[in-house]
Structure formats: structure tokens, C-alpha cells
Amino acid sequence: MGGGQSHPSVTEDLLEDYTTLTYLSKGEILYLMKKFKSIDPDKVLADYQHRFSRDKIIQKFDVLRNNPFQDRIFRVFSSKRDDSFSFEDLLDLCSAMSADCPPDVRATWAFRIYDLDEDNQITERDICEIIDRLLDTKKNDQNKLDDESKKKISKNILDEIKLDHSDGISLGEFKYILARFPEFETSFYFRM
């Protein structure tokens, strides 16, 4: 950042680029860089684009620790789909989860996370797994719903939401529905 360098890994030009390309402020970006760098300062100084494993990222970013969609978040936001994050991957995630991210953009990221089988639609199978994740059935078997109940819930959701009478919810339908739920903006977001 020239003579008044406040962070050794981010040049002023790069910081400007990041603020232009994300919904984050300079302060938020520098804060994220500081936390990211603290995972292993030598690795980040040697290679600014170093990729840290999911475990290392979660150790520093508690907000991801208990998220039932943690695996999907890493799948969707990992630019190399290797379950690891570079600093820019982390910026993408934090930008998408920022309070300043437009609902339409946030809905697109949410769709990608909830499209568990990555077939470009949220189907009954996706919804059944989403229910299991939200009920945390891996940790607590008492919360588990039987398959028939999950299918009934999925069918009701699909009947209410899908507009084109297909087998699933498309990205366009997902955005259309979420635009009518003001709670989405406060529920699909986190603070750094």
C-alpha cells in the first residue's frame, strides 16, 4: 500500500479492487485479511493466494463452525472446489453474507447452497436433505422425521413455490419467492 502500508499482504490497488468487486468495506476486508493471515502468517506472506483447509478456516471463523450447510458453503465458495479457501474465496463468502449484499445476489448464492445435488433446481430430494440438516439428525436421532413426512413436507413446499409445474424450483422461482420474504435478508447473513 505504498509508504503508508497498513497491511503487508494487500496493496492499495488490490484493496480498491476488492471494495469495488465485493459488498465489503475496506475495514472489513482488512479485518478479514488479518484473521486469514493469522491462520499461518508465513504461508500467507510466501503465497498471497495460499489455500487453507476447511478445518483451518473454521478454527478462525466461528460463524461457519455449526452451520448445517458447512460442506455446501465450502463446495460453492471454494474456487477450486477443493474444500479449501483462498483469501479471495473467503471474500466472496463474506461479501455474499454481508448485510450490504443485494437480496437478489444473496438469493443466487443461497440457491447454489440449497441445490444439494447441483442439478440447477431444488427438488424433493434436496428439500428432504435440507430438513434433515436443519433438524440436525446426524447428531440427534430423536429429531429425525420419517421419509413419508419429509416427502409430504417437500411436496407441499414444491406445490406452493414452483411456478412452472416442473419437478423442482428453478433459480428464477427461488428468487421470486424469496423477494416476498423480508426475513430472508436477516436470516441468510452473518456478521464478521
At 112, the amino acid letter reads R
* pLDDT value of residue 137: 65
The CATH number covering residue 135 comes to: 1.10.238.10
Q: What is the pLDDT, as a whole number, of residue 184?
A: 85
In a domain, 119, yes or no: yes
In a domain, 132, yes or no: yes
Write out the three cell numbers for 65: 463452525
Single residue among 43, 78, 96 that ends a domain in this structure: 96
Does residue 51 form part of some domain? yes
* 32-41 pLDDT per residue, tens: 999 999 999 9
The whole domain housing 122 covers 103-187
**Which residue in this structure is represented by grid cell 492499495?**
12
Please tell me the total count of domains within the chain: 2
Domain boundary among 42, 69, 96: 96
Strands (DSSP E) contained in the chain are 52-53, 84-85, 122-123, 168-169
Is residue 59 included in any domain, yes or no?
yes
Between 145 and 77, name the one with better pLDDT.
77
pLDDT, position 136: 83
Least confident of 6-15, 46-55, 81-90: 6-15
Q: What pLDDT does residue 161 have? A: 81
Q: Are 125 and 117 in contact (CB under 8 A)?
A: yes
pLDDT of residue 139: 67
Q: Do 115 and 57 sit in the same domain of this protein?
A: no
- 113 plus 178 within the same structural domain: yes
Angle ∠(81,83,86) on CA atoms, nearest 5: 80
